[in-house]
Structure formats: C-alpha cells, structure tokens
Amino acid sequence: MARRPILGVFDSANSAADAGDGLRRAGIPETDVDFLTDTPYPEGAFGEREEPHRLYIFPFIGALLGLTSGILLTSMTQVAYPMVTGGKPILSIPPMAVVCYEGTMLGAILFTVLGIIFESRLPKLKAGLYDTRITEGYIGVLVNTEETQHGEVETAFGQAGAVDIKRE
Amino acid sequence: MQEGRVLSTREINRDLLRSILDTPRWFWPVVTVLGLILLVAAIAIGIMVNRGLGVTGLNRPVAWGFFITNFVFWIGISHAGVMLSAILRLAKAEWRRPATRAAEVLTLFSLMTAMIMPIVHTGRPWRILYWVFPYDFARGIWPNIRTPLVWDPSAILTYLTSSTLFVIIALVPDFAVLRDHTTGIAHRVYSVLAMGWEGNARQWKLQIVAGVLLSALILPVFVSVHSIVSWDFGMAAAVKSWHSTVFAPYFVVGAVHSGVSAVAFALILLRWCYGWQDYIRHEHIDALGRLLIVVATGWFYFLVMEILFGMYGREADELMVRQTQFTYWPYNFWFILFVITTYFIPVALWLSRAWRRNLWIMSIACISVNIGMWLERFLIIVPGLINKQLFTFVWADYRPSIFEYIIIGSTFALVTLLMLLFSRVFPLVPLYDVKEGDVLRTQVQIGRRTVPATFRED
Amino acid sequence: MASSAEQHHGGGHGHGQHAGMWVFPVREEITRDVAGKTFAMPSPYKLALGIAAILTILGVVGFFIRASSDGFGSPGPWGYYAGIFSFVFMVTGAAPLVAAAFRFTKSHWRRPLSRVAELFAMVGIVNIVLFIPLLLAMPPIKNPDVQGSDLEIRRTLWFEVPIGAPYTWDILCFVGLAFCSVMILWLSATPDMAQARATATGFRRSLYGALAGWWFGTKRQWNHQKAGLALLGAFYFMLLIFVQFIFITEFAMSMVPFWKDSVLPPMYTVMSFQTGLSLILIVMFIMRRWGGYENYIGKAPFWSASKILLGLTLLWTYHLFAFFITYWYGRLEVEQNILKYLFTQPYLVVFLGNMLFSFFIPFALLIWNPLRRSDWGPPLAGLVALVGSLLFNLRTFAAAFNTGNHFEFALSHVPAAVWPDIWDICIILGGLGIVALVYLLSAKLFPPMSIWEVKEGTLYQKMDTLMKGEYLVLAKPE
C-alpha cells in the first residue's frame, strides 16, 4: 500500500499540538508527522521529534577551503610579481594574513549557507501538500503515512478540532 | 520590555506587506525625484570622466578628498546591519526583532554605494582593470600586490557577499508568505525565491541555527572591514597622523556609532512612511538610544586615545597636523563642530528617557551623529595630506568643487532610492521574527504587578 | 537545601543539553543557608588559606631581598615585580566591573556572579600598597644629565610635567579606584549583611551592625541602593579605564624609547575584561563544585559568560594584530626594533606562550558548543587565558623596565632579554598568593553570594509550560 500525505489545518497552535498527541496515541510514528507553521515555535512545543542536523560541519570545511585559496592566491601572486617594496620580504606573512582571513571567512559563510539550504532540504522542486492559510497563522499537521492509517489520522484531526483536512 | 499589543498573524501580514501589496501615493513621485538627482550626478560623473579629475578640487598632495571621505562614511554606515542584527541576535535581545532586516538591507546598499566611490575617484574608472589584470607588466610596471589597498576589495566583497546571503536566507520564510499572498507573475517569482518553503520544524530549526551561526561568522568579517579601511591610512608612515595603531578599533567603533544612528533614523522614517506604529515602537527607538550612549562613549574614548597619542610622540610634523586640525580655519571650525555633533549633542539628548522616546529629537540626534562622523573622516584624511610631508615639495589646500558636492549628495539619494525600491518588493520588517516574538511573549504575576516576560529555550 | 525546581531544569522533550542550566533556590532558605556557608570553616578552605599564606610570605621574602640587594635606584631589577603587579591589577581591577556591567544590562544569569566579582574590591586596597615600590623604581621624567634639549623630558603622558606628576597622580588614581570598588562592595553587600546579622556572632555581628545597621529594606532604601550601585558602577568603569590607561602608558610604553602605541591602553583594558571574567568563572566553578553553592550557581552563568569570553579573546587578538600590522608596515627602524624586542627576538618564547594561552587554546576550547554548555569548559578556558595574561604582563614589563636608557629618543638597538631569578619567582608566587589570601579572607567576612540579588531572581525566573513543552520564563520588570 502506498504512503500518501494528509494535511490537517488547525486555527490554533494548541489544537495542533493536541492533534500531535492524538496521532501518537494512534500509533503513527513521529517521523511521519510534520508541523507546518508560519513562525518558529520553541523546540518541543508541539511535542514533535528532535531534528538532528550536521550544519556545524559545513563552516569548518568552508573555512579550510577558503584558507587554502587565500594562501594560494596571496603566495602565488607574491611569487609571480616578486617586487620588494619598503624592504618587506617576498612571501612574508603579514600582508597575506588579511586576504587569507577574508578567504577563510568567505569560505565558511558560503558553505554555511549551502549547508542551511541542504540541511533544510531546499529547494523543494515538487510542491507537496500545503495550505496557504498556514502563512495566515493556521497550523498545518502533515502526516505522510500508509493510506490504511488515514482513517485514524482523520479521527485524531477531528478530535483535536481541525478546521480542514486535505488530501492529495 | 514589551509595550505593544499582541497582533494577530493576519494583522501582521497585512501591515508589513502593505509596502509591497499596495503602492503608497507618495512612492512614485519620491522615486522620480531621487532618480532625477541621480541623473544629475551621472551627468557630473560623465563630465568628470571626459575632462579628468582636474574638475574636482583634488590636487597634489591632497589626492584623497571628498570621494574617499564618502567611501569611508558609507562603509561606516554599513556596519549597522551586522551590529544590530548579529550582536542583538546572539544576545537574545527581544527588541531587535523589527529592526534587523532594515539594518541588514541598509548594510547592503551602503556597501554598494561605498564601492562606487573609489571607482569614481579613479577618474578613469576603466583603468581599474589595469590594476586588477596588470597587462602592462611586460614594460616593468608591476602592481604592488602587497599594498593594503588590495585588502579593501577582499574585505568588502566578503562582507557584501556574506550580508547578501544573510539577508536572503532570512527572507526565505517571508518569500513563502508573499508566495501565498500574490497571484500571477509575482506569485511565480516569489515561489521560485521561496524554494518550496513550507515551514516545517526542521526548516525552522535550521533557520534559527543559521541566524545564530551566520551572525557569529559575519561578526568577525564586520570588524575586519572597517579595520581594513582604516589600514588604508594606518599603514602609511609618511602621512603624519595616519600611522596610528588605534585606527582599526577606532574606525570600527565610529562606524557602529554612525551606522546604528542611521538605522534608528531609517526606522523612524519607515514607521512614518508605512504606518508601522505597532511594530517600530518607542521602546525600540529608546533601546537604540541607550545602546548608542554606550557606543558613543566607547567611540569618544578611542578619539581621545588617537589624539593624545598623536601628540605623545612630540614629533614636530605630527604636531603640525594636529595644529591644523585644532587651530587653522576652517579646520578648527569643522573640528569643533565634529566633536559637538558626534558626541556632546546626541549623548546629551539620549540621556533623557523622554527625549529618547521623542522621535523628532531622536531624528535630530541621529542626523547630528552622521554629520559629525562624515566630518570625522574628512578631518582625518585632509589635514594629514595638506601638511608638507618628508618627501613632498608641493603642498596645497583642498577646496572641493561643485562636481564633488553633487556626486557626494547623490549617494544619499542612491541609498534612499535603493531602500525604497527594496521595500516595494520585499518586506523590510521580518514577519516571522515579529510573529515569533508574539509566540514567546508571556507574563509573570508578582503581587499586584504583572511583569512582561519571555519564554526562552536556554 | 532543596532546590524545588531542579527536577524540571531544562526544556521540553528530551533537551538533555539544558539539564542543570538554571537552578531555582528556595527563596525562604537562601539567607540562612548562605550565612551558614559563609561562617563555616571547612578544612579544604583552611588548607587553601595556608597555601596562600605561605606563597605570600615567599613573596614578602623575595621583595625584601630584591630591595636590599638592588635598591630602587634603577627600574631594571623591578621588571618582574611590575609584571606581577600589573597582572594582579589587571585581573582583580576588572572583576568588580564585571558585576557592574551585567547588572547594568539586567542579565538574570549574573545574579550568582555579582558578589563573587565584587569581593575582588578588597584586593584593590592591597594593590595600593603593592604599587608604591613601582613609583620608587620608576625613572624620573626629567633627564638629570641633559638640559635644554628635546631629550630633557622623557616621552610620557605628562607633556609639561604638572605639579606632583607622576607620583601623586598615579597613587591618587589607585586610591580612587580602590575606594570606588569598596563602596560598590559595601553598598551591594549591605542588605545581605543586614539579613545575615541575625545569625552572625562575635566580630562579624559587630561588623555587620556597623556597616549595615542602617538598613531596613524600605522601598526608598532599595531605590537608593540600586541607583547608587548604577552610578558607582559607571564611575568605576570610567575610573578603571582611566587608571589602566595611565598605568600601562606610564609603566610600560613610556619606558621604551619611541614606543608610541595608541592601541595599547584599549588592548590592556580588553585583556583585563577577558581575565577578570575568567577569574570569576574559576572562582564560581570552585564554589559550585566544592563550596556547596551548586543550588545557586547553575550552568547558565558559565554558558552566557562563555560567549562573552570568546568575544573578548578574539577582541584582544584583534587589538594586538592592529598594533603589529601597523608597526610591521611602518617599517621605520625604531618600529622594527620595538617589534623585535617585544615580540620576535629576545622574548619570542614568552610571546608565543602568551599567544598560545591568550588566544589559540581558549579559542579552540570556546568554539565548541558542548564545552561552553558545561560548567568546567569556560573556567578551563579562563584558566588558560590567565596564564596567557601572566606571560603577557611579565614579558611587557620585564622588557619595558630593562630597555637600558629610558631617555633615548628612539630604541636604537634590540636589548637582550632579562630572565627572572629566584627572588623574582618568589615575588611572582607572592603576588598570586596575596590575591588568594585576601580573597579567601574576604569571602568569610562578606557573604560570597549576593543574597538579595538571588532572592530577587527567584521572582523573575521560573519554568513554565508552553503548549507541550516546558521552558524557562524570564521576566524583565523594566
């Protein structure tokens, strides 16, 4: 049997959280449930699962690559144009430090942004089940589960006071 | 510190998207006037390019004048974005919420404007290419790739890229709101920009972590940018009064001072233009005023260090520059005006709570700071150059020409225009941030008093 | 002493990282409990007191031998004494400011930190005494051998040598600073002394009566106390920055010919904030782990302070770089000599140690989130930063005091390094010992936990439910 999404739309955060409790009681695994909101709620406010991520690795990789680029750029240009100015030795570190630093930070930031997009699973090319009322303050509870369980899901939604239930 | 009422999501969307979904009547006339100012400036630049830098007041030895002053000034303004957004985000200051986006966007546009200034200043802008790609080197003309001037593009481009990405990442959830509230081409554009955002817990978690992480990463870049601008001057031992070790932090604090003042003024203008009284409230401007007292006093300390240690060396040529700054007309007048407008007038106004909450007085204080900070850069650059240096045998005063006045004036029009156009297509107050503030808002009852409180995750 | 809410420290579902972050002492028991802990004399405390006393005696012996063998005729032999004095002044001078600063920002997590910081005011009094030998050893401003030329007056802050400069003004600076910080301590501790008086006996009872007998806790008194603390805090801030500027310029910069470094005073100040906060964190860690204050000191102060410590660590390095790059690019001979002298030649090893301990290790430690969230991570980084700061001060002052001719117009050569002898080491140990001794004694004289602030905190901090999760609620009354 295929897994299909079902979306409950709630007009208050508390009833959406109650729906979450109902789904847990109905034995729907936490990994199949998503709460769609128009603003961040504190983690755990809907009783939802924790979302592990590896974003912190990205800036380190980026910084390393950026630093390497910075060192290569500054050292290679110094060697390519070996002009001594003001008695500063060729390949001396202080003039390289600033550009290397900027390279490091640029690398770290670029990779962090890539990391954010990747870890957020964006861009999402195919639009999923969604309701535009969510950005009007409604809460969407999106359940992606076996079609056989949709009855139980609807019951849980109904008991919690869903204003609308949508299927694909 | 929460004085406003709790607003419904619908109200927040309606109010904050007003600048995008409806066009105010004043919008296009103002844009036209600003556009005309820019046209005049473009003509002035055209003439200057055609006839050469001789039409300006620049000369030998005053090779750096208004353009470079203005460059440093706009780089300074650009420091507000990160200062407010990143530091206050890391400090979990609740009052930051409505101010962050406007500050970040001001950063972008002032940085872009700043970058134009050295290009204009070259007189023959296409010659920058020779410097970037030194085609002449077969003839032995080699670029000095270790000059501190090379640091500027590396720092500014890093800062511009980072700030742009910072703004875009924080805009994604708001793009989704716009996607859901528009139709036709606008809907399609916002849909692409929103990248399929649906607002699930994972996306929000990463949005929050990203805000903190990017803030922490951009902060060191922000400090480096104005430091590097200061080192354009500080590395030169030849021009007396420039070669001061304190220049980097002195410039950074000054930049924060002028930038935060500019943001406070911009917020007051936005509140007035778009009727955002419920979002940009007196408490926010008050908090900015208090923050500015600390920043201004820190800046004053660095100013004292700069001047005092300039004289500490007791070198005749350095003392001569100081004498020019303090006693020679018109520099003495500008110097007194600079110190009064940058520190004494605004801080005196900010000391009173009632005045901090009076938007007219706050506007005067913030404009005063920026007049002073512009003069500060001028007084650093020009008096140092007009004095005879060790290996120069010509020296002259500096009188800026009408071309310089027009071009400098137009940069203010440019930043205003860019801000207005931005507000026409993207929200200048982050919707989700304001909504989050309302979600986390609560109260604690102590005896007969109800004290405003906030839920915190740690 | 129970902590009723400790069971639900932390947030909602499975937020293990928040465990123990905030603690919620029982309001009614705080006064009795803290007073009891203040008056107790456990054996580890006595042992620490004994060690501190021995170190202090070593220092005194070192000092007298140094004075009798070398006298105060030239500054050279007193370089390491100046270094340890500067270290003590830098760290302990900034500590009371930390309390004032976080009180100013109304940070709730500061509450258990305030008194720990303010108690360092007592060391400020000792600093005045320790400062006097430096004044004796300092070379005169006017060169006795030269008259009527540029070299007649050494480059100092006192351009025209006003009356009493520098001795009177310098000592006045330290007296003013100590007075201001002691006033902060007294005003802050008054409500606590008034409350603890009920259980105090003997000497403490009379002392608390004399110092806090006037306190009844009326609304008017509370308002005055808070306004007084804010004002004194602002004064202390301005005074401290000023005194640090005078001290580092007078006793380091102007001793080295042509060392003209406008970023040195801010750099010194930033390092003092870094190390002052570090020392406070270390003391708090000891109090939490072994002093019985675990119900007052959660992990929140360490977590919050760690970010500031990281920022200060970066800021110090930034200031140092600003100096270094300006001199390196200037390429004047005298600048090259100063760079070689202070950084790259005779004191290279000390400089590298200074960088390692003041920047690289604390930075590497503090960027790790799990470590910042622990109660041991930030104090460990702080301890390392303190070692770095000690090396910075010893290097700077040993070099500055041993440049040879302080009246030269520019540093024409790179002098050799001067390493500490056995008596210098005694003096250094004594400097550390006397801080510990004075602090340990002060912590038994005044309650080391700000009772009124912790009590006030219980009104504004609690755990509460938001939908399905439980979170911290922080209230801000103004």
pLDDT score of C230 more than 90: yes
Q: In angstroms, rounded to a whole number, what is the distance separating the alpha carbons of residues B422 and B440?
A: 29
Q: How are beta strands A139-146 and A3-10 bridged, if at all?
A: antiparallel
Cα distance from B360 to chain C (closest Cα, Å)? 24
Among B382-391, B400-409, C166-175, C207-216, the minimum mean pLDDT is found in: B382-391
Contact between residue A53 and residue A162 where contact means Cβ atoms under 8 Å apart: no
Task: Let me know: does A157 contact A8? Beta carbons within 8 Å.
Answer: yes
C469·A43 Cβ contact <8 A: yes
| Euclidean distance between CA atoms C334 and B129, whole angstroms | 38
Contact with chain C for residue B235, Cβ under 8 A: yes
Q: What is the pLDDT of residues A31-82, one digit of tens each?
A: 889 999 999 999 889 988 888 889 999 999 999 999 999 999 999 988 888 8
Those residues whose C-beta lies under 8 Å from the C-beta of residue C434, and which sit 6 or more positions away, are C52, C55, C56, C59, C88, C123, C126, C130
Name chain B contacts of C330, Cβ cutoff 8 Å.
235, 237, 243
Please state the separation of Cα C386 from the chain's center in Å. 10
Confidence of residue C12 (pLDDT cuts 50, 70, 90): very low
CA distances from B172 to B158, B166, B177 (A): 21, 10, 9
Residues of A in contact with B147 (CB under 8 A): 85
Tokens of C415: 């002098």
- Cβ contacts of C328 on chain A, cutoff 8 Å: 94
Q: Could you tell me the maximum CA-CA distance found in chain A, to the nearest angstrom? A: 81
Protein fold of A3-49+125-167: Alpha-Beta Plaits (3.30.70)
Closest CA to C340 of C356, C353, C324, C355: C324
Percent residues over pLDDT 70 in chain B: 96
What confidence tier does C362 reach under pLDDT thresholds 50, 70, 90? Answer: very high
- Give me the number of domains chain C comprises: 1
Whole-angstrom Cα distance, residue A106 to residue C317? 20
The CATH 3.30.70.120 portion of chain A extends over 3-49+125-167
Q: For A44, which of C15, C324, C329 is closest by C-beta distance?
A: C15
How many other C-beta atoms lie within 10 A of the C-beta of residue B326?
Answer: 13
Total count of domains within chain B: 1
Residue C52's pLDDT band, with cuts at 50, 70 and 90, is very high
- Enter the pTM of the model: 0.94
pLDDT digit string (tens) for B248-285? 999 999 999 999 999 999 999 989 988 888 888 898 89
Mean pLDDT computed over B20-39? 93
> What was the pLDDT predicted at B138?
61
Shortest Cα distance, chain A CAs vs residue C44, angstroms: 42
Q: Determine the residue type at B346.
A: P
- Across the interface, whether the CB atoms of A55 and B208 are under 8 A apart is answered no
Considering the domain boundaries, does residue C25 fall inside one?
Answer: no
Q: What is the pLDDT of residue C202?
A: 86
Q: What's the gap in Å between the CA of B220 and the closest CA on chain C? A: 9
Q: What is the pLDDT of residues B318-330, one digit of tens each?
A: 898 999 999 998 9
Structural domain including C233 reads 31-474
- pLDDT for residue A1: 57
Query: Is the Cβ of B214 closer than 8 Å to some Cβ of chain A?
Result: yes
Judge whether B4 lies within some domain: no
| Chain C interface includes B452 (CB < 8 A) | yes
Residue A27 contacts C where some CB pair is shorter than 8 Å: no
Asked if B8's CB is within 8 angstroms of A53's CB, the reply is no
State the nearest Cα–Cα gap between C125 and chain B, in angstroms.
27
SS3 A8: strand
Query: Is C126 domain-assigned?
Result: yes
Mean pLDDT of B305-315: 90
- Residue C201: the pLDDT is 85
Neighbours of B207 (CB within 10 A): 19
Residue B313: pLDDT band with limits 50, 70, 90: confident
Q: What's the complex ipTM?
A: 0.94
Q: Do B206 and A85 touch (CB under 8 A)?
A: no
> What percent of chain C clears pLDDT 70, i.e. is strictly above it?
95
Enumerate the residues of chain A whose CB falls inside 8 A of the CB of residue C469.
42-45, 47
Task: Check pLDDT > 80 for residue C1.
Answer: no
pLDDT for the residue numbered C6? 39
**Per-residue pLDDT, C14:** 38
Contact: C263, B245; criterion CB under 8 Å: yes
Mean pLDDT of B304-308: 94
The single-letter DSSP state of residue C153 is B
Q: Residue B122: which domain range?
A: 9-454
Beta strands in A26-146 (DSSP E): 33-36, 139-146
Q: What single-letter amino acid sits at C1? A: M
Cis, peptide link before residue C44, omega less than 30° from 0: no
